[in-house]
């Protein structure tokens, strides 16, 4: 049915539904457009659904293949004595081990040197402290001896002073007695 037929006042065809009551052409076009969009959407949905079903089938096949492969791996026994490494793999393993050990050794060189210097400094400080302690003990002993020596000297001087006082007093008495 063409647009010209509808605008000429002819009754639109309902595509085999003549029993429908008269519908204005604008409403009929709106219904037909909605029906067309519905059919297009339904077709797109059907295509999407079919594609999704195909993807699900592919995914299920892939899962089944992986399950089969895993079961085959699980059934296999691994004999370590049958493992063979290529020379390149052996060199790579050795290189990794050497680089790890070398890196650890090189990273601790500074720490070991610093520790040796610290130990030497601590030993020097300990020696100096021991020497200072010995010096202080010697100085204390010397002061004690000097103090004892001075105490005795003071006692001697006091004793002499007393003797001198006694002699002076005796001499004074003698002189005074002789004068009388």
What distances in angstroms separate CA 116 from CA 18, 61, 81, 112, 130, one per listed residue? 109, 67, 47, 6, 21
In angstroms, rounded to a whole number, what is the distance separating the alpha carbons of residues 110 and 116? Answer: 10
- pLDDT for position 21: 62
- What are the tokens at 30? 């709106």
Cβ atoms of residues 100 and 93 within 8 Å: no
Whether the predicted pLDDT of 96 surpasses 90 = yes
Class of residue 23 by CB neighbours under 10 A (exposed 0-12, middle 13-18, buried 19+): middle
Most confident range (mean pLDDT) of 71-80, 81-90, 137-146 is: 137-146
Class of residue 21 by CB neighbours under 10 A (exposed 0-12, middle 13-18, buried 19+): exposed
Whether the predicted pLDDT of 4 surpasses 60 = no
Cβ atoms of residues 6 and 25 within 8 Å: yes
Whether the predicted pLDDT of 3 surpasses 50 = no
- pLDDT for position 8: 42
Q: DSSP letters of 33-50?
A: HHHHHHHHHHHHHHHHHH
- Within 13 Å and on the Cβ side, how many CA atoms surround 109? 6
- What are the tokens at 178? 């002789």
In angstroms, rounded to a whole number, what is the distance separating the alpha carbons of residues 154 and 166? Answer: 18
- What are the tokens at 61? 């096949």
> pLDDT averaged over the chain?
83
Tens-digit pLDDT profile for residues 134-147 = 999 999 999 999 99
Tens-digit pLDDT profile for residues 24-46 = 888 888 888 999 999 998 999 99
Which one has a higher pLDDT value, 60 or 6?
Answer: 60
Share of the chain above pLDDT 90, in %: 44
Whether the predicted pLDDT of 63 surpasses 50 = yes
In angstroms, rounded to a whole number, what is the distance separating the alpha carbons of residues 164 and 158? Answer: 9
Whether the predicted pLDDT of 166 surpasses 70 = yes
Q: Give the predicted TM-score (pTM) of the model.
A: 0.33
Whether the predicted pLDDT of 13 surpasses 80 = no
């Amino acid at each position: 049915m063409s647009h010209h037929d509808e605008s000429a006042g002819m009754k639109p065809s309902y595509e085999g539904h003549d029993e429908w009551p008269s519908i204005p052409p604008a409403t009929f076009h709106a219904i037909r457009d909605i029906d067309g969009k519905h059919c297009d959407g339904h077709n797109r949905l059907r295509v999407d659904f079919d594609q999704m079903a195909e993807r699900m089938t592919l995914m299920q096949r892939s899962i089944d293949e992986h399950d089969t492969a895993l079961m085959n791996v699980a059934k296999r026994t691994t004999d370590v004595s049958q493992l063979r490494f290529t020379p390149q793999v052996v060199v790579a393993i050795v290189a990794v081990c050497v680089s790890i050990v070398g890196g650890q050794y090189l990273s601790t060189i500074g720490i070991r040197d610093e520790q040796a210097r610290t130990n030497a400094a601590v030993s020097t400080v300990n020696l100096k402290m021991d020497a200072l302690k010995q010096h202080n003990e010697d100085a204390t002993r010397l002061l004690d001896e000097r103090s004892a020596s001075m105490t005795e000297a003071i006692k001697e001087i006091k004793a002499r002073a007393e003797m001198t006082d006694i002699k002076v007093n005796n001499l004074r008495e003698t002189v005074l007695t002789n004068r009388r």
